[in-house]
Amino acid sequence: MENYISSVPLWAIVLFIFGFFWSLGLIASRAKQAAINAGMSAGKSRNIQFGILGFYIAYLAYVSILSLKGVFDNKSIPPTVMVLAALPLMIVLFGFIGNIKLFKKLLGAITLESLITIHVFRILGASFIFLYFYHLLPAVFAFSAGMGDLITALLALPVAGMVSKGKSWSIPVVYAWNIFGILDILTLLVIATIVGKNSIITGELGMREVTIFPFVWFPAFAPATILFLHTMIFRKLVQMKKIKV
């Protein structure tokens, strides 16, 4: 019987899952704080927090069930996980969530620093390099993905610090950091596609590890969510500029 669970040690799987839920908690807690900043009641703020957590937990459960059934474990271009999971999530975030009145109210209330420091969760990208050392991901993808995420995550705190101190040159730095974070995700999607296509042709190591549990959460969650969060920063910068004018 085919196994659709990663072959890494159990402790690594548990640590990854814990880290992933910490990421969800970080996103949800910032939304809760934004609701409080907007003058909403403690109860409504908590409902927003738990609503975000509930949405993502339900989504990851859906992704997990499909991955454990082997639905994503095939060499196809585009990858099945992108078609059945990442793309629908992107449509929900960009097509619906980003346009509702509540979201716009929260975006107006959240601080730019909070939006930036959310990205510390991308430190989980170190998992890609870990998977390479277990010979489960090709080096070209693992190191590009891992280093890009780590750089974005580690720079998030100092960039946010510049903003909080009101440095005159902090906004151009935010733009540069934000563009880097977006380009990192887009580049990884291109590399993953090339690696996947080459594995079909040559039979070399491909992207199977991120189509099975639990690392399937990466492609299902990260591209859509991270791009949405970066877009939020651009929208926040536009809001701030209008206020100054």
Q: Tens digits of per-residue pLDDT, 170-227?
A: 999 999 999 999 999 999 999 999 998 888 888 788 899 999 999 999 999 999 999 9
**pTM of the shown model:** 0.95
Establish if 243 belongs to a structural domain.
no
The boundaries of the domain holding residue 182 are 10-238
Q: What is the pLDDT of residue 132?
A: 96
Q: How many domains does the chain have?
A: 1
Establish if 26 belongs to a structural domain.
yes
Establish if 164 belongs to a structural domain.
yes
Q: What is the pLDDT of residue 245?
A: 55
Please give the mean pLDDT across all residues of the chain: 94
Establish if 232 belongs to a structural domain.
yes
* pLDDT > 70 fraction of the chain, expressed in percent and rounded: 98
Establish if 128 belongs to a structural domain.
yes
Residue 112 above 70 pLDDT? yes
- What digits encode the pLDDT tens for the residues 12-70? 999 999 999 999 999 999 999 999 999 999 999 999 999 999 999 999 999 999 999 99
Establish if 209 belongs to a structural domain.
yes
DSSP-assigned states of every residue in 50-114:
HHHHHHHHHHHHHHHHHHHTTSS-S--SS-HHIIIIIHHHHIIIIIIGGGSHHHHHHHHHS-HHH
Establish if 15 belongs to a structural domain.
yes
Establish if 68 belongs to a structural domain.
yes
CB 153 within 8 A of CB 222: no
